[in-house]
Amino acid sequence: MTSPRVPGPAQIEGFLEHLRSERRLSPHTISGYTRDLQRLCIFCGNKPIGNLPALDGHHARAFVAYLHRAGLGGKSIQRALSASRSFYRYLLRSGVVPNNPFTGVAAPKSGKRLPKSLSVDQTARLLAVNAGEPMGVRDRAIMELLYSSGLRLAELVSLDVADVDLGDEVVRVTGKGAKTRVVPVGRFARDAVRLWLATRAVAAPLGEQALFIGRNGRRLGARSVQLRVRYWARRQQLGAPVHPHMLRHSFASHLLESSGDLRAVQELLGHAHISTTQIYTHLDFQHLTRVYDDAHPRARRKDGAPVRRPGVRAAAVRNKADR
């Protein structure tokens, strides 16, 4: 197998600009594409041989093996393959390469991991923040809004003051692919945001439009939100690490558990495909089967302990997903 040529920096930057300006992907997604293409360059040896990438199917499969040896899991390898496939699709359309070497190359299968969510009690404990100082007021508004409206982290930090309409009880969100959706804001979140806006009016410099700002008066970054949510999870003694996306998962699973309306949850989350939302039906039925195992007289052993029935649980999940 001949040595593969390294994709040129200009070609990669052109592709990333295509993702930014034409496909309008989020900065978080573009950052992931950048990391994965850097892995591809490292695999190629970081030694440019001419300007044109010259990978073939053998190189693509060797790249998968290389990532596997590096300790990446199935999901990470799938993402790296997707980034590489998209990059070569872009080069193919531009006439730079004659074919896409990553077409048909599969990543190792990985088990489907269900998203982790908080129970209703855990969520209530996390949000019961007795915050007196300005940053605590801000943090409570952040967590209430994440849970109330099911926002992604990138969506939250990109919010401007003008995006929140407390009178109409909605927030206008710009999601993936620069798609805009309007979602409701619950009473507790409205109260928390209203209190933060009064606090923010004193701290924000003139002309700053960001809804959530840091101590420096500028737009709060995603990493800062992650650290603050983790801080409050420890402070409220939840006993488990919590990240912002867990509040989005909790929003979806609690709403689906109460309503059973998968389409409505899809719209609120801003999912393009219903299959993405269906993961929450698994969480819903896990909850229902736990209730069954714990409460039904025929589901208990003679010693009184609940009987776990993975077969029943799997069948319930399949039935729900097929509806």
The sign of the torsion formed by the CA atoms of 166, 170, 175, 177 equals negative
Please give the Cα distance from 165 to 121 (Å, whole number).
28
Cβ proximity of 69 and 30 under 8 Å = no
Active-site pick, 152, 190, 249, 320: 152
User: Could you tell me the residue range of the domain that residue 194 belongs to?
Assistant: 120-245
Cβ proximity of 185 and 195 under 8 Å = no
Average of per-residue pLDDT across 273-295? 59
Statement to judge: residues 266 and 164 lie in one domain: no
Is the pLDDT reported for residue 128 higher than 50? yes
**Phi and psi at residue 240, to the nearest 5°:** -155, 150
pLDDT given for residue 309 in this prediction: 41
Is the pLDDT reported for residue 75 higher than 70? yes
Active-site pick, 116, 176, 230, 309: 176
Is the pLDDT reported for residue 193 higher than 90? yes
* The token pair that represents 272 in the structure block: 């393009």
In 3D space, the residue among 46, 28, 24, 50 whose CA is nearest the CA of residue 37 turns out to be: 46
Q: Is 176 part of the annotated catalytic residue set?
A: yes
pLDDT given for residue 5 in this prediction: 56
Q: What is the largest CA-CA distance in the chain?
A: 74
Active-site pick, 18, 245, 287, 309: 245
Average of per-residue pLDDT across 146-173? 93
Task: Please check whether residue 106 lies inside any domain of the structure.
Answer: no
Q: Is 152 part of the annotated catalytic residue set?
A: yes
Average of per-residue pLDDT across 74-102? 89
pLDDT above 70 covers a percentage of the chain that reads: 78
Statement to judge: residues 270 and 240 lie in one domain: no
Task: Please check whether residue 204 lies inside any domain of the structure.
Answer: yes
Choosing from 223, 245, 267, the residue where a domain stops is 245
Average of per-residue pLDDT across 112-124? 81
* CATH number for 22: 1.10.150.130
Hey, how many other C-beta atoms are within 10 angstroms of the C-beta on 1?
7
What is the average pLDDT score of the chain?
A: 80
Statement to judge: residues 127 and 226 lie in one domain: yes
Q: How many domains does the chain have?
A: 3
Active-site pick, 280, 282, 292, 313: 280
Q: Is 231 part of the annotated catalytic residue set?
A: no
pLDDT given for residue 315 in this prediction: 34
Please give the Cα distance from 70 to 82 (Å, whole number).
18
Active-site pick, 248, 249, 282, 320: 248
Q: Is 245 part of the annotated catalytic residue set?
A: yes
pLDDT given for residue 210 in this prediction: 96
Q: What is the DSSP string of 242-270?
A: --HHHHHHHHHHHHHHHH--HHHHHHHHT
pLDDT given for residue 213 in this prediction: 96
* The token pair that represents 261 in the structure block: 């309306």
pLDDT given for residue 220 in this prediction: 94
pLDDT given for residue 107 in this prediction: 78
Task: State if pTM tops 0.75.
Answer: no
Continuous segment of H or E residues that includes residue 314? helix 310-322
Average of per-residue pLDDT across 178-183? 87
Active-site pick, 172, 271, 287, 309: 271
Q: Give me Rg for the CA atoms of the chain.
A: 23
Statement to judge: residues 71 and 127 lie in one domain: no
